[in-house]
Amino acid sequence: MRGWLPAGGGLRDEDWARRHRLLTLLLASCVVVLTIFGSLRHGLDWAWLLTVLLILPCVVGAVVLRPRRLPSILVATGFTVACGGFVAMSGGLTESHFSFFIAVAALALYRDWAPFGAFLIGTTLHHAVFGTLVSDRTYDHHNAMEHPWVWALLHGLAVLLAAVFQVVAWGLTEAEERRAQDSLAASQAQLSVAFDETPVPMAMLAPDGRLQRTNSAYRAWLGLPDELPPGFSVSDLPLTGVDDEPGNTFAELVDSPDATTITRAYRRHDDNSLIYVEIHSNGLRDRQGRLQSVFVHCLDVTRQQEHEAALRRQVRQDSLTGLLSRAAFEVDLVGLLAGSAGPASVLYLDVDRFKTINDGSGHSAGDDVLRALAARLRAVVPQGSLVARLGGDEFVVALPGSIDTGLEVGRAVLASLAEALPVAGGRLQLSMSIGLALAHGPDQAEQAVLAADTAMYTAKRAGGNRLEIFNDQMRVAVQQRIVAESRLRQALDGDRFATLPVWFQPIVSPATGLIVGAEALVRMWTTEGELLAPGHFITTAEETGLVVPLGEHVLETALRHLTEWRHELGYVSVNVSPRQLSEPDFVPMLARLLAGSTLVDPSRLVLEITETALLSTSVDLKQRLDAIKALGVRLALDDFGTGYSSLTWLQSVPADIVKLDRSFVAGLADDPRKASIISAVLWLARSLNMSVVAEGVEDLADWEALRQADCPAIQGYFFSRPVTAGDFQEMLAKTRRVSLEVG
């Protein structure tokens, strides 16, 4: 039976108190209802008086007595008296007994056997005792008057049976509550494990800032005891906000209607260290939207912040010299010009003959020179000036002031270099070329740097170790560079195959007249419909770095046509600039293009490298060229004979083809000395297993002289100027037909 019957109790104090107040109020209202009923029926007689006198003490006791059981029994007793009084005032009317059934259902709200049983016992005693003493006021039929105890038991049983469903509902509710409680306990246990054992510091705080609950990670992180003192709040945390106090941050979390993430810097009290904390918060609210708790979890992001700060410093600082980087200088120059009422002077500085230091003493010594030079510049320029290293041996200085201010600083820099720099235990004498330009307003920042750069190149061409001021004559060159850069960028951003067509100049065998190869030469269509030769934009492409995507486009186009002309053409040569060759991604890019093409024989692609490129690049040249050769691509040494060390390059560069400069070819037929030089070069090339191409052949006499000298290939206007890919294909077909007819 115990397993089937409800246990009773189980209500929370606040729930029981709410039900008790309701039942007590109903009991008190019975006095009013019985008074009205008695007044309307027969008047207020002794039955009314006795009932009221018995109910009132029960109401008072239910209000003042503690704890639960006695007040609930008094309420049950009061309801028994009220129901019995109602029966007596009704003259034992059968229908008045229904009140007992109503009362027993009401008392089931207590979910306690004590008031429930007290009412059942009281009901039975009422029917038996009053049925015996005043049977006419208890029952309205003769049989019950004669046998009051029998009818009392029957009535009590009927009331009990009427309460069966109340008991069943009571029991079912308890079972459901037990299951819910078990589920809640399991969820709370899981939550406790997740909350207490997680390594992330977490806490629950009341809206007034008191810490309601913390996990071990939170306490360990802040050095708090396991048991916090009563009333411990965020203002008691061992932290001091750098920007504000912890309480201000908490107020921001409380005021936020949504989940919030805030990062703040704090100073710890225990070791005085600075920490950065990322606080994630969620507000827990009741049904009415009132904030009950704030749940926070805290991440110590100090290392992340320090790492980001280091990255920002790396972006803003040149890693070698500690000066501003190019990107930081560009931003700060705009800010300087925006905050200055007058103009600003921009000085562009470049070390004269710096490459000889790298080549002669190594890159380590070159780095030492740049660091020492940066220190010298810091000491010379006025406080508050912007000093940056743009890359390589190029520096830039910007400071507010007129052209006279810039001249004074520039001359001071040149004068400071009169004293040799201490480098690697010795001293090294340096000189610089300096260009000076003025900027008025932040919109002229980029143009001023470009103008100063132009003036610096003028100083360098004049012999170096001097300062040149940008003038109107130089301005024309700058404008041309700006226009050229704008046109080139537009072309690269468009359909490159349409805006940057690649033309081809044939390379011909003088012995047979057949086309054995071709040189790829890029052209550019402007938005105005003008076709530009490379001389209008290649220099700008080199200076701006746009030659890198431009060169990739030319290579991609050349490979596409090599595949298309695989049966008609031996090879295509493509010029590679110093800037391209210095790019660390050049060889991977070349390998990617070769892999993406259907070119079976990579040796059909020839890369032309000038002596200038070999001299100006700062990369490990042999390693870079060996990597290119490993891909199967051939190399050509372009403009051979124009440099002082050309014969040295023949020995050190793994070239497959030597291209004789046109200065040796023009007038060859009338100059025996040139003929002797070309014969010697041809002999030397053959001995080194290299082929030769003579460039700049423009008349028949030179053609015949080269054919007589057994030159393998020639190139020049005598045979053809550069032509479009379509015209070149027709040229290939024509020469092929002629060859077949001759054969």
220 occurs within a structural domain: yes
pLDDT at 280 over 60: yes
- Chain centroid to CA 521: how far? 42
> What whole-number distance in Å separates Cα of residue 477 and Cα of residue 655?
36
The residue type at 411? R
477 occurs within a structural domain: no
> What whole-number distance in Å separates Cα of residue 299 and Cα of residue 445?
42
616 occurs within a structural domain: yes
189 occurs within a structural domain: no
> What whole-number distance in Å separates Cα of residue 372 and Cα of residue 376?
6
- CATH number of 410's domain: 3.30.70.270
Q: Are residues 293 and 364 in the same domain?
A: no
Q: Are residues 570 and 600 in the same domain?
A: yes
Task: State the SS3 of 494-556.
Answer: CCHHHHCCEEEEEEECCCCCCEEEEEEEECEECCCCCEECHHHCHHHHHHHCCHHHHHHHHHH
Q: Which helix (H) or strand (E) holds 674?
A: helix 672-687
313 occurs within a structural domain: no
Q: Which helix (H) or strand (E) holds 714?
A: strand 713-715
Out of 157, 172, 187, a domain closes at 172
440 occurs within a structural domain: yes
Q: DSSP character for 91?
A: T
> What whole-number distance in Å separates Cα of residue 687 and Cα of residue 694?
18
Picking from 284, 216, 222, the residue whose alpha carbon sits closest to that of residue 253 is 284
Residues 81-104, mean pLDDT to the nearest whole number: 84
Confidence of residue 432 (pLDDT cuts 50, 70, 90): very high
Out of 306, 332, 362, a domain closes at 306
pLDDT at 743 over 60: no
Q: Are residues 625 and 726 in the same domain?
A: yes
Q: Are residues 594 and 623 in the same domain?
A: yes
Tell me, what's the pLDDT at 247? Answer: 64
State how many domains the chain has: 4
Domain range for 326 is 320-470
SS3 content of the chain, % helix, strand, coil (to 5): 55, 20, 25
191 occurs within a structural domain: no
pLDDT, one tens digit per residue, over 29-57 is 999 998 998 888 877 888 889 889 999 99
Q: Are residues 587 and 649 in the same domain?
A: yes
pLDDT at 644 over 50: no
Sheet containing 202-205: which strands, arranged edge to edge? 211-214, 202-205, 291-300, 274-285, 260-268, 239-241
Looking at the DSSP bridge assignments, the partners of residue 291 are: 285
Q: Are residues 581 and 666 in the same domain?
A: yes
Tell me, what's the pLDDT at 617? Answer: 54
- CATH number of 253's domain: 3.30.450.20
Look at residue 380 and give its three-state secondary structure.
helix
The tokens for 641 are 């004979």
Out of 306, 335, 357, a domain closes at 306
Most confident of 103-112, 149-158, 231-240, 599-608: 599-608
Q: Are residues 142 and 34 in the same domain?
A: yes
Q: Are residues 302 and 325 in the same domain?
A: no
Q: What is the largest CA-CA distance in the chain?
A: 162
Q: Are residues 213 and 325 in the same domain?
A: no
Q: Are residues 445 and 528 in the same domain?
A: no
Beta strands in 215-309, from DSSP E residues, in sequence order: 239-241, 260-268, 274-285, 291-300
Q: Are residues 544 and 685 in the same domain?
A: yes
The tokens for 303 are 């290392």
Q: Are residues 649 and 503 in the same domain?
A: yes
Residues 486-508, mean pLDDT to the nearest whole number: 93
The residue count for the chain: 743
The tokens for 10 are 């189980």
- Chain centroid to CA 390: how far? 27
475 occurs within a structural domain: no
- pTM: predicted TM-score of the whole model, two decimal places: 0.49
> What whole-number distance in Å separates Cα of residue 222 and Cα of residue 271?
11
- CATH number of 687's domain: 3.20.20.450
